[in-house]
Structure 1
C-alpha cells in the first residue's frame, strides 16, 4: 500500500518519471518499480529517503511520515507463514489498508468467504499438496479477520454458486455461510446471472479503494497474481456489473433456492 502512495507522490506531486526518481534516490529503476507495485516491502526509512530526494516540501513530507508511523503497526503479513506465497501476504497488507473491497468471482466464491471444505477443494483442484493446502487455509483464515472492518462487496457468478466444491454437504454449508454473512452485514453479495451479456468476465479479481491513493486491482492467475495500478478499466466493469447483477434480495432468494436443491 505504501508503494502505491509513493507512486502517486512521484507522479502527481513531484512530477518525476520513474528512472529519474530512482536515480535521485540512488536506487535502480527496477527496485523502485517493484516497490511501487507492492512486490517488495518498503520501510518508513525508505519512504523518507525517496520523498526527500524527490524534493517533496518538508511540511508535507513530515505530515505523511507521521501518519505512516502512526499506522505502521505490524500485521501477520509482515511475518510471512513459511510455505505460503509472498503475494498472499502482500494482498493481506493491501486489504488491511483499504476502505472498500469489491471481489469479482468467476469459478468459486471469494477466498474471504470460503468455508474450510470449499477452500480445500478449490486448492486441491489447483494442484496444491495437502501441506500447502493446510498452510493456505491458515493464511486464508487470517485474511478473513478483515471482515466486518471494511466495506466488502461481492459479485459472484451463478455458475460458481452452483458448483459443488467439496461435495453436496460442503456446498450446502458454503451457501449457508454466504447467507449468514449477508445477514450480519460482513458482505454484500450479488449474483451475476447465467444469461447476462453486459459484462465480460475472464478471470477473478479484487478491486481495492484506499483513503489517499487510487484504487488497485489484484488479479488472480493460475501461477500467482498481478497488481494493476491503472484501475479505470476494472472500475468501469464494476459499473456494468451493478447493472446486470441481481439485487441483494434477489441474490439472497437464489442462494436459498440453491440450498434447497433448486
Structure 2
C-alpha cells in the first residue's frame, strides 16, 4: 500500500466505510490489530477507513483476504472497484455489502454540516420508530426488513448531536400519515421538539414556488473537501460529488430564503398536529397561517 496516489474522492469515503464494516463483521480485530496483520501503520489504515486516502484495488484485495471475506463476495467487490476506479465523475454508488444507511452514516459522522430537503416524508434523521418503519413499508420494504433498516437508521440519528443539521421540509410531508394519524401526531410532536435538541427544522409552504427538483436530497459539507450530495432512490442510493453536488449547494441558499423561520416552523407544526386532534381553534389558526 505505497507509491504515488490520487487525491481521495467521495467514493473513497464509501469504500473505506465498507472496509471498516467488513473488518467488524468478519473479524474480532481492532484497527491496530488489522494494521499490524496487513503490515501497514494504524494511521494508514485509519485514513483508509475514513476515506482520507485514495483506495487502490490492491488495498481492497489485501484487506478483504485478511478479513476472510468469502471468495464470491471478494471477487464481486474487487470487480466493482475496478469498474469504478476509472470514473471520477459525479456518480458514486454504495458497494456490495453496504446498506444505503450505512453508506450515508459514514459521511454524516465526518461532515461539518448536513442539510436535507424532503418533499413527501419527514427526513429520516428525524423519524420516530413508528413513522420510520411505516414509511419504509409504504416504500415497499417487507416488515422484517423495515425493522432491520430501522436499527441502522437509529444509529444514524446519533450523529445529530455532533453535526450541524438543518432539515427543510415541504409542508406536504406534514400531512402524509405514514402509520396512521396517531403515528403522524407523535412524529409531528417529535419534530416540533427538535429545535430544543439543537436541530434546525424549517418548513417550506406549498404557496412558495421554490423551483427545486422534485426529489428529496441530502447535502453533506466537509471542512477540507468538496460537498457530497445524496439522493435516495426507490431501493438504492446515489452519491454525487464535483460539479453536480454544487447544484444542491445552490439549492440550499434558495431554501434558506423561502422557508419559514425556525420559530414559525414550530408554530405551524403544532397547528398541524392540533388539527389532527380536532382542535377547532388551532384549525382556524392553521387556515389563517
TM-score w.r.t. length of structure 1: 0.70
Superposition deviation, residue 86 in structure 1: 2.5
Contact 1:101 1:206 in 2 (8 A): yes
Contact 2:13 2:107 in 1 (8 A): no
- Give the aligned partner of residue 265 of structure 2: 251
Contact 1:199 1:241 in 2 (8 A): no
Quote the Cα distance in structure 2 between the aligned partners of 1:147 and 1:177: 14
- Give the aligned partner of residue 234 of structure 2: 222
**Do residues 194 (structure 1) and 216 (structure 2) align?**
no
Quote the Cα distance in structure 1 between the aligned partners of 2:158 and 2:134: 21
Q: Deviations over 1:61-80 (max 9, x none)?
A: xxxx959848969xxxxxxx
Quote the Cα distance in structure 2 between the aligned partners of 1:199 and 1:39: 34
Query: Structure 1 residues 124, 70: closer, same or farther in 2, change over 3 A?
Result: closer
RMSD: 2.9
Quote the Cα distance in structure 2 between the aligned partners of 1:193 and 1:42: 39
Superposition deviation, residue 165 in structure 1: 1.5
1:180 pairs, out of 186, 193, 198, with 193
Alignment gaps of 5+ in structure 2:
21-41, 51-96, 276-282, 284-289
**Do residues 203 (structure 1) and 254 (structure 2) align?**
no
Superposition deviation, residue 199 in structure 1: 2.9
Quote the Cα distance in structure 2 between the aligned partners of 1:100 and 1:188: 11
Number of matched pairs: 205
Contact 2:14 2:106 in 1 (8 A): no
Q: Deviations over 1:9-36 (max 9, x none)?
A: 27xxxxxxxxxxxxxxxxxxxxxx8944
Query: Structure 1 residues 198, 121: closer, same or farther in 2, change over 3 A?
Result: same
User: Which is higher, the Rg of structure 1 or of structure 2?
Assistant: 2
Q: Secondary structure at the match of 2:14?
A: coil
- Give the aligned partner of residue 57 of structure 1: none
Contact 1:37 1:229 in 2 (8 A): no
Superposition deviation, residue 181 in structure 1: 1.3
Contact 1:104 1:155 in 2 (8 A): yes
Query: Structure 1 residues 35, 255: closer, same or farther in 2, change over 3 A?
Result: closer
TM-score w.r.t. length of structure 2: 0.64
Contact 2:17 2:106 in 1 (8 A): no
Query: Structure 1 residues 255, 106: closer, same or farther in 2, change over 3 A?
Result: same
